[in-house]
Amino acid sequence: MVKKSLLRCFVDGQWITTKQRFSNINPVNGEIAGQVCEADAALVDRAVQAARAAQRGPWGSLSTAERAALLHRIADGIEQRFEDFVAAEVLDTGRPVQQARTLDVPRGIANFRSFANLIATASSEMYDSTAADGGRVINYVNRKPLGTVAVISPWNLPLLLLTWKVAPALAMGNCVVAKPSEETPSSATLLAEVMQKAGVPHGVFNLVHGHGPAAAGEFLTTHPDIDAITFTGESRTGTTIMKAAAEGVKDVSFELGGKNAAVVFADADFDAAVAGVMQSSFTNAGQVCLCSERVYIERPLYARFVAELQRRCDKLVLGYPKDPDVDMGPLISHEHRDKVLSYYELARDEGATFISGGGVPDFGDERDRGAYVQPTILAGLPDTARCVREEIFGPVCHVSPFDTEQEVIARMNDSPYGLAACIWSTHLSRAHRVAASLNTGIVWVNTWFTRDLRTPFGGSGLSGIGREGGRYSLDFYSELSTVCVRI
């Protein structure tokens, strides 16, 4: 079961208990679920040095097939402790149990299996060409590990996004020092236990708990012996990490925030579009970087669509994670709830109409001490309003009518972010045309959150740098070296 009493760091194959600790808070009721050992600068350095030593040891000489087999053993280990991982995700985030069972933990398993299969079947790149004097030349590409990779993962999808980075990093022969969010330390600690049991060599995977500025996060990203940094989180934090990475010119991969837009054309399948916007706005209490916070609806459909959206929003069930009918859990913390509520107040100041929500639910029990907010639909704000331009990262969307295709494309692109967008239309040629015109890393047509793990994922602008997924992850987590042979 999940060790709720004390979560320790894992460095060089050893469990480390530190004197400095912080509390792990259950967002459902505000209770302290356990204590977490916090890594200081010395322990972070120890983790980095252990990773570098492991890179020089037997780990560096493992074959691709041996690494693939190890990744499968890790996936097996997560499967064997499936319910423990579900409990860890629910404890830290308050998300519905069903979501953890059907999304978070299965994706964690799939991440290890997909990259194990990818490296086991990937063929070398080879090019046959002719030299200037007519001689034959063969070029082939070697992939070498970067070395020691710092993995900084967020709190919104803790296991899914941690494994999304760790799996390809290990697949390419790197060593890892991982720091999960201080809000969600449990599943990362379980993963370290699985790594140990699977036989991952000492120092290959290290786990340090702690906060960001002037703490474990900063100690890790500014460490001179880190070779690359991969980070998912707020754009502002990504800017800080990028400044640190400039010292030493380290490779970086950032998946940052988004102010994602969805467009509903009048010819859309009405029920599918309403269900899709509900899902893309309120899944995980809106705490997904891919959620839709801006919804543009073609004017002939606007009134009907908003009325149905309101009806369904008002019926969403907020409750305990284990409740069979629960639709939405709490936000991750009281601090984050304060941020979301501050945007609700800002929306009022900016003149928004609240179609649904806008406050805090009243349960009359211990959940009133939790971090719940009402799912909220806003309307009536101009595109220049802060609530329409800034990422809120809560269960909220702003709805607005539009009249022409050209107009809505311009409005959707009018954002410093460029992560994701949704198009709802049965007009296939228009859907393709609009998708090609949007400045985002991913565009969904008549669906949301569906992904093939082999495809590139990432954003532009304030939404990040680089792409992850399939071979695109392999490109980041490896150094490419070309060998040219004259024969």
Residue 123: what pLDDT? 67
8 A C-beta contact, residue 281 and residue 295: yes
For residues 12 and 298, give the distance between their C-alpha atoms in angstroms, rounded to a whole number.
57
For residues 320 and 28, give the distance between their C-alpha atoms in angstroms, rounded to a whole number.
7
Please name the amino acid found at residue 423. Answer: I
What is the fold, at CATH topology level, of the domain defined by 6-256+463-486? Aldehyde Dehydrogenase; Chain A, domain 1 (3.40.605)
Q: Could you state, in chain order, the average pLDDT of each consecutive group of 10 residues for the chain (487 residues)?
A: 75 98 98 97 98 94 95 98 98 98 97 95 83 90 95 98 98 98 98 98 98 97 97 94 91 96 98 98 98 98 98 98 97 98 98 98 97 98 98 98 98 98 97 98 97 93 95 94 92
Annotated domain spans of the chain: 6-256+463-486, 260-452
The distance from CA 418 to its chain's CA centroid, rounded to whole angstroms, is 15
Partner residues linked to 417 by β-bridges: 461
Residue 2: what pLDDT? 44
Burial 213-231 (b: 16+ CB within 10 A, else e): eebbbbbbbbbeebbbbbb
For residues 470 and 472, give the distance between their C-alpha atoms in angstroms, rounded to a whole number.
5
Q: Give pTM, 2 decimals.
A: 0.95
Residue 1: what pLDDT? 44
* Three-state SS annotation for the chain: CCCCCEECEEECCEEECCCCEEEEECCCCCCEEEEEECCCHHHHHHHHHHHHHHHHCHHHHCCHHHHHHHHHHHHHHHHHCHHHHHHHHHHHHCCCHHHHHHHHHHHHHHHHHHHHHHHHHCCCCEEEEECCCCCEEEEEEEEEECCEEEEECCCCCHHHHHHHHHHHHHHCCCEEEEECCCCCCHHHHHHHHHHHHHCCCCCCEEECCCCCCCCHHHHHHCCCCCCEEEEECCHHHHHHHHHHHHCCCCEEEEECCCCEEEEECCCCCHHHHHHHHHHHHHHHHHCCCCCEEEEEEEHHHHHHHHHHHHHHHHCCCECCCCCCCCCECCCCCHHHHHHHHHHHHHHHHCCCEEEECCCCCCCCCHHHHCCCCCCEEEECCCCCCHHHHCCCCCCEEEEEEECCHHHHHHHHHCCCEECEEEEECCCHHHHHHHHHHCCCCEEEECCCCCCCCCCCECCEECCEECCECHHHHHHHCEEEEEEEEEC
Residues 6+ apart with CB under 8 A from 245: 221, 229, 251, 252
> Any idea what the Cα angle at residue 44 is, between residues 75 and 164, rounded to 5°?
30
The encoded tokens of residue 59 equal: 């780990």
Residue range 260-452, CATH number: 3.40.309.10
Residue 125: what pLDDT? 82
Residue 9: what pLDDT? 98
Among the listed residues 472, 468, 60, the one whose alpha carbon sits nearest the alpha carbon of residue 230: 468
Residues 6+ apart with CB under 8 A from 177: 44, 47, 48, 51, 148, 149, 150, 151, 206, 207, 208, 220, 226
Residues labelled catalytic:
255, 289
